[in-house]
Chain A
Amino acid sequence: MERVTETGAQTMPERHERSQWIAFAVMVAALLAAPFFVYPLFVMQALCFALFALAFNLLIGYVGLLSFGHALYFGWASYLSAYSAKAWGFTPELAILTGTLTAAICGLVAGSLAIRRQGIYFAMITLALAQMMFFVALQAKFTGGEDGIQAVPRGYLFGVIDLRNDMAMYAVVLVVFLFGFLFIHRIIHSPFGEVLKAIRENEPRAISLGYKTDRYKLIAFVLSATLAGLAGSTKAIVLQIASLTDVNWPMSGEVVLMSLVGGLGTIFGPIVGAIVILTMQYKLAPVGEWVLVIQGVIFVACVLLFRRGIVGEIAHKLKIRL
């Protein structure tokens, strides 16, 4: 993939790295300014979903695995985070940690089952396992069934900082998001990430080179589930609710849509996609069920006409990688 060609004084990798740093700087600046211009709760929600989409995209974009059941990790992390904060009185950072760990364990179990089959079966297995855990959530007592877990206390970060203040909460969400973003960036650009991309391009060849690809796939799966869980846990604290919506299959579809709209396999794409889809949902809330139709139309349009997504298309035009 990576072809080193001279363009003036710069080599291609340097050029990619510089454009990514510029994009990153623009993003951080925008996120620092955002809560002063946009409703902070919306930005926080968007950041949680952006992290969720980034985690999902780590699998599809860099290992070529389509998980159609990421609501499992997002939703169950959200439940455990909400429950531990409300019932056990955990401080927010501990609650988020509890949720994230839950997602990691779920990811380990579901991942080791799903990687036993390839391609299209992988997607069906992840979807089926997520549906199973949806029914468990529906029947379990602690999840509150149809009501979900409501009025989750935001609490005091480290027992000190009052998160009922939206700006303090925003700072926490921003730190969590940037940590997740940089962590994923680090994974993709590590030797481990190079092996993942090799598996995406040609798995039999990676195996013949001596890589235990199943182990790499499982680690990538657990990482992705864990980060999706981090997003879900944080969301539960921010919006103070965990519900069946978070763990049901349309949520799995939504995160696919976000990544697809933004651009599969681009590092900034899922963020743009999450913002676009959430904005659309807010603007279109009054038209009710048409949201479903419009989401479907976007899916179809992206697959037929627009497979690179927004960020992928921009990067392609500018001949850079974002």
Chain B
Amino acid sequence: MFELCLPAILGGKCIPSAALFGQLLIGLINGSFYALLSLGLAVIFGMLNIINFTHGAQYMLGAFTAYIILQKTGLGYWPALIIAPLIVGVLGIIIERTMLQWLYKLDHLYGLLLTFGVALIIEGIVRNEYGSAGLPYTLPDSLRGGQNLGFMFLPNYRAWVVGASLVVCFGTWFVIERTRLGAYLRAATENPTLVRAFGINVPRMITLTYGFGVALAAFAGVMAAPIYNVSPQMGAELIIVVFAVVVIGGMGSILGAILTGFGLGVIEGLTKVFFPEASNTVIFVIMAIVLLVRPAGLFGRRA
């Protein structure tokens, strides 16, 4: 173990390496969730032209579904990691078919308002059923414990979350940017009418895209469940930060969304070490600076 110090001009604060890397890891974990959620938002926005305000509620629903599966059926973390995103994804598809599909021709803001309303409904129902206090979700046995790396202690579960998020994020990037299915998606984003004329069922693609984006949020929710308590408001607080992340990164680029998500998580973690009182606001401050310097966002194209 060793210590790291800030330069005197920034206050000269010294931090033991274990604390620093510990916070850095928490930053990476938050960053994984920012990346997964902003990725889902970007994919949905690309196809549906709607900013999915329900995203936070769907992340929360993922965590709660895992909790409920454990309580009712005794099925643990690993089955929940598959089942919960499927259930929430299907709920998303129902939302898209019954409500969102009527909004595509209207102004963007109606999509935002509708999904905000759906988020309120979901959060309200969960609060009624489970109260607003956090509920604990136990770690799977297979991921307990950790490694001593010399300069820090690395809990296995946290390493797993960061690794799994990276795999899912880059998997999504690969599918969209490097496969035939992704080519259809990108083409339908550019010009849906033309793609339909080639005999591709664009409305079904839109529905499935929404289901997939929502499932990503639920997947993040299940992974978050053992780290944070499962609570009805966990999504609402997160989604606002994710909006700031999306403004900083711009929604034009998938890789951009991933990098911005992880990067901001790390910056937030470091802020927690050196300037704890600013850790809640740092992402918003960065957003303001980016708006001043590069109004279109780091990876955005000027609309």
Using a CB–CB cutoff of 8 Å, the interface residues on chain A facing chain B are 60, 64, 66, 68, 113-114, 116-121, 123-125, 127-129, 131-132, 135-136, 138-139, 249, 253, 256, 260, 288-300, 302-304, 307
**Residues in B73-124 with C-beta less than 8 Å from chain A:** 99, 102-103, 107-110, 112-114, 116-124
Asked if A135 and B280 make an inter-chain contact with CB atoms under 8 angstroms apart, the answer reads yes
Asked if A292 and B127 make an inter-chain contact with CB atoms under 8 angstroms apart, the answer reads yes
Asked if B277 and A303 make an inter-chain contact with CB atoms under 8 angstroms apart, the answer reads no
Using a CB–CB cutoff of 8 Å, the interface residues on chain B facing chain A are 45, 51, 99, 102-103, 107-110, 112-114, 116-125, 127-128, 132, 236, 240-241, 243-244, 246-247, 277, 280-281, 284-285, 287-288, 291-292, 295-296, 303
Kindly identify which residue among B51, B247, B277 contacts A128, using a CB–CB cutoff of 8 Å.
B247
Assuming the A-B contacts A113-B292, A120-B112, A290-B124, are A299 and B117 also in contact, with contact meaning beta carbons closer than 8 angstroms in the complex? Answer: yes
Assuming the A-B contacts A124-B246, A289-B128, are A296 and B112 also in contact, with contact meaning beta carbons closer than 8 angstroms in the complex? Answer: no
Cross-chain pair count, CB within 8 angstroms: 125
Kindly identify which residue among A136, A249, A293 contacts B240, using a CB–CB cutoff of 8 Å.
A249
Asked if B118 and A120 make an inter-chain contact with CB atoms under 8 angstroms apart, the answer reads no
In this complex, the member of B109, B125, B246, B288 whose beta carbon has the largest number of chain A beta carbons within 10 angstroms is B109
Asked if B236 and A249 make an inter-chain contact with CB atoms under 8 angstroms apart, the answer reads yes
Kindly identify which residue among A68, A125, A129, A139 contacts B277, using a CB–CB cutoff of 8 Å.
A139
In this complex, the member of A114, A118, A131 whose beta carbon has the largest number of chain B beta carbons within 10 angstroms is A131
Residue of A nearest to B109 (CB): A66
Assuming the A-B contacts A113-B292, A300-B99, are A123 and B51 also in contact, with contact meaning beta carbons closer than 8 angstroms in the complex? Answer: yes
Asked if A300 and B124 make an inter-chain contact with CB atoms under 8 angstroms apart, the answer reads no
Asked if B127 and A296 make an inter-chain contact with CB atoms under 8 angstroms apart, the answer reads no
Contacts of A136 in B (CB 8 A): 281
Asked if B291 and A116 make an inter-chain contact with CB atoms under 8 angstroms apart, the answer reads yes
Contacts of A292 in B (CB 8 A): 120-121, 123-124, 127
Assuming the A-B contacts A66-B112, A132-B281, are A303 and B295 also in contact, with contact meaning beta carbons closer than 8 angstroms in the complex? Answer: no
Asked if B125 and A293 make an inter-chain contact with CB atoms under 8 angstroms apart, the answer reads yes
Name 30 interchain pairs, CB-CB below 8 A, sorted by A.
A66-B112, A68-B112, A113-B292, A114-B291, A116-B291, A117-B291, A117-B295, A119-B303, A123-B112, A124-B243, A124-B246, A128-B241, A128-B244, A129-B288, A249-B236, A260-B113, A288-B128, A289-B124, A289-B127, A292-B127, A293-B124, A294-B124, A296-B120, A296-B123, A297-B121, A299-B113, A299-B120, A300-B114, A303-B103, A303-B117
Asked if A300 and B246 make an inter-chain contact with CB atoms under 8 angstroms apart, the answer reads no
Alpha-carbon separation in the docked complex, A114 to B244 (Å)? 12
Contacts of B244 in A (CB 8 A): 124, 128, 131
Rounded to whole Å, the gap between the CB of A300 and the closest CB of chain B is 4
A128-B284, A304-B99 given; 15 more Cβ-contact pairs under 8 Å: A60-B109, A66-B109, A68-B112, A117-B296, A131-B284, A132-B284, A136-B281, A253-B120, A288-B128, A289-B127, A293-B121, A298-B117, A299-B116, A303-B117, A304-B114
